[in-house]
Structures are given as C-alpha cells and as structure tokens.
Amino acid sequence: MTESWHGYRGLARDLLISAGVDVGDEVEVVKPDGEVYRGYLMSRYEHAEEGYIVLKLRNGYNIGIAITKDTIVKRLGPGPRPAFRRPEPPHLDPSLPRVSIVSTGGTIASRIDYRTGAVKPALTSEDLITLVPEIAEIAYVEAEVLLSKFSENMTPSDWDVIARKMDEKIRNGYSGVVVSHGTDTMHYTAAALSFALAGTPIPIVLVGAQRSSDRPSSDAAVNLVAAVRVAAHAPFGEVVIAMHDWHSDDVIAVHRGTRVVKMHTSSRDAFKSVNARPIAYVRDGEIILNDQTVNRRGGDGYSFRPGFSDKAALIKFYPSLGPGIIDYFLDKGARGIILEGTGLGHVSSEWIPALRRATSMGVFVGMTSQCRYGRVNMYVYENGRDIMRAGVTPLEDMLSETALVKLMWVLARASDLEEVRNYMLTPIAGEMSPRTLPTRMRPDAA
C-alpha cells in the first residue's frame, strides 16, 4: 500500500499530487462523462474507501467523487485562508483565587475550522478563557499543557508525572488545580492521585467531556466551569472528579477519586460514585456539600508519596476461566493480583491450589466483586472460606479499579506480603469504609 497523502491513497493520491493541488485549494474535477464539479479539496478519512476525492462545495456541503484514471483534476487556485482574529479575552482578576488548569489530553475547549472540519484544541490560558469566559469570573486561571494523551494510553508512570505536577502546584500555593483528562480511564488516574496526594490541602479536580468540545452541545464548558469553581472555592482538600450528574446541564456531581467509575459509554452522566455518595454537587454556581467527612481545605495531613509499581494485575473471573491465568501473571513477575470475583467474592474452587501457590510465593491476592455495588464477604460460603484459607485477602467495599491502583501504589513502597496486606486494609484516601449504605441508583436523586 502506498503511503497516504492527507488520507488519500492509490490512484486518488497520484492524481492529486500530479495535479499539484493542496488540501484547501479550489479545484475542478471533470469526470470521463463530462460532469464537472468545483469545490475545495478536503482531506480524506484514513479508513474510507479508496477511489474517491472529497470536495467541499461552495454551499458548504462535502461530497465524494468517484475517480478513474480518466478523471481530470485541475487546480483553480488557493481556497480562502483562515485569518484567525482572536476576540478580546475577558480580563483576569488577580484578586480571585489562583487556579491552575493542567491539560493531560482530551480537549476541554476547542475551535473548529469549518473549512476543513479540523478541531484545534485551546491550550493556552488565553484561548481557554476566550472560549469559556465564565471561568475568569470565578478564578485567576493559568493553563498549562502537561501531557497530550488519550486516556486509554495512560500508564502508571504518567500518573506519577501528573502527581509530581500536582505536588508542585500545592507547594506553590495555588487554591486548587483542575486536571483535564480523557474520560475513559479518568477514574484510574483519580484513584492514583488520591493515594499519591493523600491529605491534599487543596482540591485537585479532574474533569473531562463526554461530548467533544467542538460541538455547541458539549458538556466540556459546563463541567470546566464547575471544576474551576470547586478548585477555587470548595471547603475541602480532596482529589475529585467533577462531571454531569444526569442528562441535564444544571447539576454537576463531585465524586471522591477513589469511589468513582465510568458507568456509561457515551452519556454525560457516565461517572457515578459507587458504595459512596458524591461528596458535593455544583448547582446554580453554588457548591453544595454532600459529605461531612471530607478532608477540610488547608488541613495539615498532606504527605506526598509518589511512585507506582506495574507489577500488579486485575483479573475478572468468569464461568469456565481456569486458574492458568494466575500462573501466567506469576510467570510475568507479578507481585500482586486483584481478583474481580463473583458475588460476595468467589472464584471457582478449582483455583484454590493456584491461589495458594501465589500467596506462598509472597504475592498479594486481594478479592473484590464484579457486582460493583456492595461489600465482599467470604465467610458466608464454604468456598469463600477455602479461598481465604488459600491466603486471599477480602478488600471490603473497595472498587476493583481502585484496589488495583492502590496495589500498584502499595507495591512501590511495601517490602513484604504482610506489609502489603496491612496497607491494603488501611484506608488511605476514603477508598473503603466499614459501613454499607443503601444503593442509590435513581438518576434523578440529587
């Protein structure tokens, strides 16, 4: 396959290159049957079929034109070039709380090039407040780009980079930090920061968007405004995620970083606190505290403890999955495994020898539940008791993702199994609690 040129391959690519056209140029395409099309050449989706040229017509519509070797492409001239005239940004008020907006990927605000359809992220503070001017009334914001990654590509070492940046912001006296993040793994990063920055004296607010910021209906701006408000004014120092509470734009839920998961592939209200309530809501520009056990802003319990080990694994058990998977991870040098078991915390009784082998090698094995809601309890059934006897540690009401991230963090600082187990059972950042309250899954309860 030939290398693609603006998404064009094969005949189309050759035709365009030999005609000397560039994307955005005005061109004329004459088909062998004499039909003539005029418009501006657009780039082509990488995975679309070969053999078509995409033109933007004068009326703004794009169409695809099939080409053959007898098609004639002629360059008429350059298309209109955008001359971006930046609107006057609103004035920043230095008397407001200082908030840093750190971008790690995902675009919280962007401009669109209607000519090509390209989306350009707003990365500077100026760009950001021009596009979302409301934040200038809430805080004295500064923006910076730390990473530029899709969230599914994030690794524990990225968490570390972010954590170090947060610590720098804390030490530099910011009132709060907003971290813009792709949503797919935002809850893993939130948990990681919760452990590394336990007891933070200021709010660290992760925020994202389920609808991209190039569309008028994007949730990005509303989420960002709420996140800046929490960072600037919340009475707590916590690592949190601020996202839509429901389908409406009027209530933003603030979730504790160790208690939240992405529960929906596409909806604005994808993030839900599980086995806990959101610690606050933002409604009509007001922060409503929903949890009295928060770590208060400016407290002195902060300790910065970065570092994550990648020698941990998360295994979701399913009927028929054999214990070989344990051996696989042991062979790979795993020092800890989180099981996402069934119900109260079970895997097939066939697994018991393999589990015993793992724990006797000093590998930590912790049990969480794939039910998501509720607490594991391995005393109820005999199989559960046997699994515990094999050395598996039940992890109370901890989310499996949180348990994994915590284990990665623990393995970076504990030396033996006993110490790992102690860490895992000691609440560090609100990730577990001894009380289970009724599940509140009603979407309209706010």
- Residue 161 lies near other proteins (rule: CB under 8 A): no
Is-contact 387 347, C-beta < 8 A?
yes
Stated length of the chain: 446
d(CA 339, CA 60): 54
Residue (17 or 63) nearer to other proteins, CB? 63
| Look-up of token digits 């359809």 | 117
* Under rule CB under 8 A, residue 250 binds other proteins: yes
Which one, 267 or 359, has the nearer CB to other proteins?
A: 267
Residue 59, CA distances (Å) to 31, 39, 40, 357, 408 in order: 21, 9, 11, 70, 55
- 80's CB contacts (< 8 A; 6+ apart) are 115
Contact 61, 44 (CB under 8 A): no
What are the backbone angles phi and psi of residue 212, rounded to the nearest 5°? -60, 155
383 scored as a contact of other proteins (CB under 8 A): no
Q: Which is nearer to other proteins, 332 or 442 (CB)?
A: 442
Examine residue 36 and tell whether it contacts other proteins (CB under 8 A): no
- Structure token digits, residue 343: 């119900």
Cα–Cα nearest to 407, from 328, 314, 327: 314
With CB under 8 A as the contact rule, the residue among 34, 60, 173, 333 that binds other proteins is 60
Which one, of 317, 407, 399, 426, lies nearest residue 363 by Cα? Answer: 407
Q: Is 115 in the site for other proteins (CB under 8 A)?
A: yes
* List 14, 160, 167, 184, catalytic entry: 184
H/E stretch holding 224 reads helix 220-233
Q: Pairing between strand 52-56 and 62-66?
A: antiparallel
Indicate whether 266 belongs to the interface with other proteins (CB under 8 A).
yes
436 is catalytic: no
Token pair, residue 10, equals 């094969």
Exactly one of 83, 172, 173, 320 binds other proteins (CB under 8 A); that residue is 83
Of 85, 332, 435, 442, the residue at the interface with other proteins (CB under 8 A) is 85
Nearer to other proteins, 85 or 332 (CB): 85
Q: Binding pattern to other proteins, positions 203-242, x when CB under 8 A?
A: -------xx-xxxxxx--xx--------------------
- The stretch near other proteins (CB under 8 A) out of 168-176, 199-207, 261-269, 388-396 is 261-269
Which window, 11-19, 142-150, 260-268, 360-368, contacts other proteins (CB under 8 A)?
A: 260-268
183 is a catalytic site residue: yes
Q: Please tell me which residue in 104, 130, 183, 200 is annotated as part of the active site.
A: 183
Give first-to-last CA distance, the chain, whole Å: 55
Binding site for other proteins (CB under 8 A): 35, 42, 45, 47-49, 52, 54, 57-66, 82-87, 110-115, 117-118, 120, 130-131, 210-211, 213-218, 221-222, 246-250, 265-268
Residues taking part in catalysis: 107, 183-184, 262
